[in-house]
Amino acid sequence: MIDIKQKNSELLNKLIMKMNKIFKRTLLFAMCSCCMVLYAQTKDHKVELQTEESKSQTKSLKRKVAISRFTNETQYGKGIFYDKENDPMAKQALDILSNKLVMSDKFLLLERADLDKIIEESQKNGGDYSSVGADYLIVGSITEFGRKNLGDANLISRTKTQIAEAAVTIRMIDVKTGQIIYSEEAKGEAELKSKSTLGVGASADYDATLSDKAISAAISKLTENIISNLMDRPWKAYFLTVDNGDYFISGGKSQGIETGDEFLVKEKGRTVKNPQTGMMLELPGKEVARVKVVLTEGDNPQNEFSIVEFTQGAIDPQNIEKYYIEEEK
């Protein structure tokens, strides 16, 4: 009897020891799993922080853009006393595009009262837009515009819809070359519905704001492409003068230039004539040096400048017009 009790006790002890081992292993596995999850979460958090930091450190230099007065190429609203210089739709289109580009915080918009005259003279001079004072010139026009009313009536209800449709064309010109680098047309639509049942319900009179909304819808479709196209092109600046060994370049704080920024210096490529179009083309430039900004001065985009020093290479100070500054992509 005693032997049986001893055997049962030994078996029970062995079973308890075995269960303890299983429990310890399970607990150890669970602790390791938790550690791995915490490590993965920490690692992911670090990656996210590094990504956010790299994004915040990405610098975008603002391009100088001038927008010419929009033209209204449609016949809408043109009566006997129509004044081309004060076309309300053209002015509205210009204001909408200007506002959208300013809100992107990627451009410096230059407003000049004599811009139209400068553009007219530039076109007479074979497309020399260098006097515009910007990197790029945007020219736009309203090519289509119309309104229509649609109605639907039955025994108990009536529906009325006012629709305005507009088409806007944008052309972007590289001021230095006079070439059209981007051109696109987009269409926009705006509508207003009213419905009444058994004579009860909302009624809508003529809504003049639909015209603005249709034009805004068309320009909104173009804005993102305009921004992408301009930002894909490297930011450029030019040497202004050399004074007592100091090299002055165009651009300053308003464009995002800061002390310590480094840029490439390239020698302009040869200018050749395209036999198909008859236009002059500038071949790609060649990197000859690197510079670092040591000082920025000026209180507005029109009079800002920076002083740079060479960190690599050199240029001919007597022929600074042969070179330009470019950001390194």
Residue 224 CA: distances (Å) to CA of 56, 180, 236, 285? 21, 18, 21, 29
Q: Do the Cβ atoms of 64 and 107 come closer than 8 Å?
A: yes
Residue with tokens 């230059």: 110
Helix ranges, 125-252 (H): 209-232
Least confident range from 3-17, 31-45, 288-302: namely 31-45
Calpha distance 306→259 (Å, rounded): 9
Percent of the chain with pLDDT over 90: 29
Residue 51: band (very low, low, confident or very high) from pLDDT cuts 50, 70, 90: very low
Does residue 203 share a domain with residue 268?
A: no
Does residue 177 share a domain with residue 94?
A: yes
Max CA separation in the chain (angstroms): 127
Judged against a pLDDT cut of 50, whether residue 34 lies above it is answered with no
Q: What pTM, to 2 d.p., does this model score? A: 0.69
Q: Per residue in 112-163, pLDDT tens?
A: 655 666 666 666 555 556 666 788 889 899 999 988 888 777 667 778 888 9
**The two structure tokens encoding residue 182:** 């981007």
Does residue 84 share a domain with residue 13?
A: no
Does residue 71 share a domain with residue 150?
A: yes
Looking at residue 9, the DSSP 8-state letter turns out to be H
**What rounded mean pLDDT belongs to the chain?**
78
Top mean pLDDT of 54-63, 149-158, 167-176, 279-288 is at: 167-176
Least confident range from 16-30, 144-158, 218-232, 276-290: namely 16-30
Residue 170 CA: distances (Å) to CA of 1, 17, 219, 318? 105, 83, 9, 40
Does residue 77 share a domain with residue 52?
A: no
Residue 217: band (very low, low, confident or very high) from pLDDT cuts 50, 70, 90: very high
Looking at residue 126, the DSSP 8-state letter turns out to be T
Least confident range from 137-141, 160-164, 203-207, 264-268: namely 203-207
Does residue 247 share a domain with residue 207?
A: no
Residue 253: band (very low, low, confident or very high) from pLDDT cuts 50, 70, 90: very high
Does residue 203 share a domain with residue 72?
A: yes
Does residue 206 share a domain with residue 99?
A: yes
* pLDDT attached to residue 1: 47
Residue 6: band (very low, low, confident or very high) from pLDDT cuts 50, 70, 90: low
* pLDDT attached to residue 210: 85
Final residue belonging to a domain, choices 14, 41, 58: 58
Calpha distance 85→141 (Å, rounded): 13
Calpha distance 296→17 (Å, rounded): 78
* pLDDT attached to residue 252: 92
* pLDDT attached to residue 36: 47
Does residue 279 share a domain with residue 180?
A: no
Calpha distance 324→217 (Å, rounded): 38
Residue 110: band (very low, low, confident or very high) from pLDDT cuts 50, 70, 90: confident
Number of independent structural domains in the chain: 3
Find the mean pLDDT for residues 53-61. Answer: 56
Judged against a pLDDT cut of 50, whether residue 69 lies above it is answered with yes
Calpha distance 248→327 (Å, rounded): 16
* pLDDT attached to residue 38: 39
Reduce the DSSP state of residue 120 to 3 states and report it: helix
Does residue 184 share a domain with residue 74?
A: yes
* pLDDT attached to residue 55: 41
Q: Domain holding 271: CATH number?
A: 2.40.10
Among residues 274, 309, 73, which one has the least CA distance to residue 168?
A: 73
Judged against a pLDDT cut of 70, whether residue 304 lies above it is answered with yes
- The better pLDDT of the pair 219, 299 is held by 219
- Domain that residue 280 falls in: 236-326
Reduce the DSSP state of residue 321 to 3 states and report it: helix
Final residue belonging to a domain, choices 11, 40, 58: 58
Residue 53: band (very low, low, confident or very high) from pLDDT cuts 50, 70, 90: very low
Find the mean pLDDT for residues 184-208. Answer: 73
CA dihedral 272, 273, 274, 280 (to 10 degrees): 90
